[in-house]
Amino acid sequence: MADKLLWSITWVLNRIPRSWALAIGRLLGACLYLALPHRKAVAWSNLGRALPDLSHQQRRAILRHTYQHFGMTLVDFVRIPTLNGQRLTTIIDLDETYLQAAREQGHGAIIMSAHLGNWELIVPALAHHDYPITSVMVPQRGSGGVVVRSIRESTGTPYISKKTPTRTMLRLLKEGRFLGLVGDQDARRSGVWVTMLGQPSSRPRGGAVFALQTGAPMLAVWCLRGQDDRYKLEFVSINTENLPADRDQAIQSLTQRFMDALGEAIRRHPEQYFWFHRMWKTRPPGV
């Protein structure tokens, strides 16, 4: 029943002008700001730890805008089937400088992103410009999982599960494909310890491991919304040189470089970050 309702909402949002759909998204975000006290409490706590210099009023304004941003982000996500092809270029600006340089190296590329801006539009945008992107995703469970998967697959680009064997991902890179990873969530005890927004954090080590094993360049990318509701794909080249000789230390150092780039982007656009997950769920060893 829930999936049928979601399909109906998706059908409607794909058939009205984007400006109307975004207005609905903003309204939805405003309603959720009032209706979800638990998630608001988690986001409020995260904001306080990550950006402690903000006043109470500043945090409250950021959080209110965050809800509205993700209401609009959700709308643009369900409209992905409508945005396929040339229509993507009407809402997404893409500078291909780093992408072309990565492709010319012939080792594939590791495309690192995070829950900032509208990360779901990154893969469709790259695929539309003929970059061979395969994205690693955590399968969605429960109501809505089928809808989410169908929307993602509507672009015709391949997605693989996070549980896919490492050798398969390495093979994709060696074949020259781009591998998309999301690297900002808590990785529990299997992660590498770095600092994110001033806090000790366990974060996924996969991107760094793949870069070290294959020599593929690592690019961080954020799909950021502008005041005109257009997006810009902003790329940062993560330096993979001058790393420690010790493998574990090299993984930690490279992951930290990605975290530093992400932290800088979040500080510029705090209202576009997904503050609602438990960012520091795993406690550092000995704490």
**What are 122-151's pLDDT values in tens digits?**
999 999 899 999 999 887 776 677 888 888
Average pLDDT for the chain: 92
Percent of the chain with pLDDT over 70: 96
Residue 118 is given by DSSP the state -
Q: Does residue 124 belong to any structural domain of this protein?
A: yes
Would you state the pLDDT for residue 143?
Answer: 65
Neighbours of 245 (CB within 10 A): 6
Would you state the pLDDT for residue 146?
Answer: 80
Give the domain range for residue 36: 2-272
Neighbours of 116 (CB within 10 A): 23
Per-residue pLDDT, averaged over 13-38, amounts to: 92
Provide the whole-model pTM: 0.94
Q: Does residue 223 belong to any structural domain of this protein?
A: yes
Would you state the pLDDT for residue 82?
Answer: 84
Would you state the pLDDT for residue 262?
Answer: 98
| Model pLDDT for residues 182-213, shown as the tens digit of each residue | 999 999 989 999 999 999 999 999 999 999 99
Q: Does residue 284 belong to any structural domain of this protein?
A: no
**159-184: string of b/e by CB count within 10 Å (b at 16+)?**
bbeeeeeeeebbebbeeebbbbbbbb
Q: Does residue 177 belong to any structural domain of this protein?
A: yes
- Whether pLDDT at 36 is above 90: no
Q: Does residue 279 belong to any structural domain of this protein?
A: no
Q: Does residue 214 belong to any structural domain of this protein?
A: yes
Would you state the pLDDT for residue 147?
Answer: 83
Would you state the pLDDT for residue 84?
Answer: 65
| Model pLDDT for residues 154-187, shown as the tens digit of each residue | 888 889 988 899 999 999 999 999 999 999 999 9
Look at the chain and count its residues: 287
- List C-alpha distances in Å: 154 to 12, 88, 185, 198, 256: 17, 14, 26, 38, 34
CA distance 124 to 88: 8
Q: Which residue has the tokens 């169908």?
A: 150
Task: Give the total number of structural domains in the chain.
Answer: 1
- Whether pLDDT at 1 is above 70: no
CA distance 28 to 40: 15
Percent of the chain with pLDDT over 90: 77
Position with higher pLDDT, 156 vs 216:
216
Would you state the pLDDT for residue 139?
Answer: 73
- List C-alpha distances in Å: 72 to 161, 239, 249, 259: 26, 33, 40, 26
Q: Does residue 287 belong to any structural domain of this protein?
A: no
Q: Does residue 285 belong to any structural domain of this protein?
A: no
| Model pLDDT for residues 92-118, shown as the tens digit of each residue | 999 999 999 999 988 899 999 999 999
